Amino acid sequence: MGRLAQTDGLTEIQRDILATVRDFVDKEIIPVATELEHKDEYPTAIVEGMKQLGLFGLTIPEEYGGLGESLLTYALVVEEIARGWMSVSGIVNTHFIVAHMINAHGTQEQKDYFLPKMAAGEIRGAFSMSEPGLGSDVSAISTKGVKDGDSYVINGQKMWLTNGGTSTLVAVLCKTDEGGSSPYKNMTTFLIEKTAGFGPNPTVPGLTVPGKIEKMGYKGVDTTELILQDVRIPADRILGGAPGKGFYQMMDGVEVGRVNVAARGCGVARRAFELGISYAQQRSTFGKKIAEHQAIQFKLAEMATKVEAAHQMMVMAARKKDSGERNDLEAGMAKYLASEYCKEVVEDAFRIHGGYGFSKEYEIERLYREAPMLLIGEGTAEIQKMIVGRRLLEEYRIAE
């Protein structure tokens, strides 16, 4: 292990967890990742290994059977997993967001019922906010839940669900029109239990997961649509027990998700750097290793600096959230910086590989297709800049 992306101030338990995960990644993920990715095959054995390590319950409190670790610990674990294969980190990410939302906003009954099963990996979560015509404008949500007695009847179409098919619990944001004139008080999060699989769901009448969306990268993990036609959900499966709080609950989930995406960017960038500096010491041109050429040394220096800067920004954002302070500024900065730097580091490693980087035999080809997803997931660069810009104006507003 090199000196890049080290984190000061970790406890012995945190260091032990990261060492265990790093060993798991090196032995169980990296050797099979490219083959599984090319087949677009779900990493069943890897997921079972993560269950045994307790990673699905990493941040769930000990009273519910989890490890009770911090967002920082989780982010560092995600960084290690993404270094092996970014798709695997996506499998735990949406699960973690849903568990966080239930722990932070759920009723006691919801916590008691869901969290122990989520900690054990028996229930696996997915997070559903986006829609085909929604983009970044959450206020334009059209999937609607209408109250009918002690239930809600939901109709609509959701988009871009990571783990949409393999999950057994989906947190779904819907419009409920019970909060007055503000669109943000007219949204509600429903906790929908379902059977894993594609097609019409056998346990939830009216709910359909059509199939996997074919993607350029981020393969292995399933990304899906979710169609709801007169799906009836009991009112006690509203997250927190009361309608109208869904937007704020989802934004809390997205905030921790941005730290997660930053961590994924750090992990992919670190792996790209490792591949680039290794290949540069093996390939020879003009009578010497290409690592001895000044142009390549400059490129490696730039890559390493970006890896280090993104990692430290991600750590700062995670620690801010763990402290209980508002961290949308830091999370936005971290997500923006890490995803942009990831793209640049991966491209530089691709260039170092020359023509071989274009071959599917080399791991960098996979990373080159995976990095673009991080530019979009949990909000584009433009959205992050808007969030950061608004927060800066709040912090530095001059007296009039």
Q: What is the CA radius of gyration of the chain?
A: 21
Cα 340 versus chain centre, distance: 16
Cα separation, 307 vs 341, in Å, equals 7
Count of Cβ atoms closer than 10 Å to residue 215 Cβ = 15
Q: Which two tokens stand for residue 340?
A: 């942009």
Closest CA to 153 of 250, 235, 98, 242: 235
Distance CA 318, CA 312 (A): 10
Q: Determine the Cα–Cα distance for residues 334 and 378; give it in Å rounded to an integer.
A: 12
- Give the three-state DSSP class for 249: helix
Residue 289 CB neighbours (<10 A): 13
Catalytic site positions: 378
Q: Kindly state the greatest CA–CA separation across the chain.
A: 80
- The two counts, helices (H) then strands (E), for the chain are 11, 10
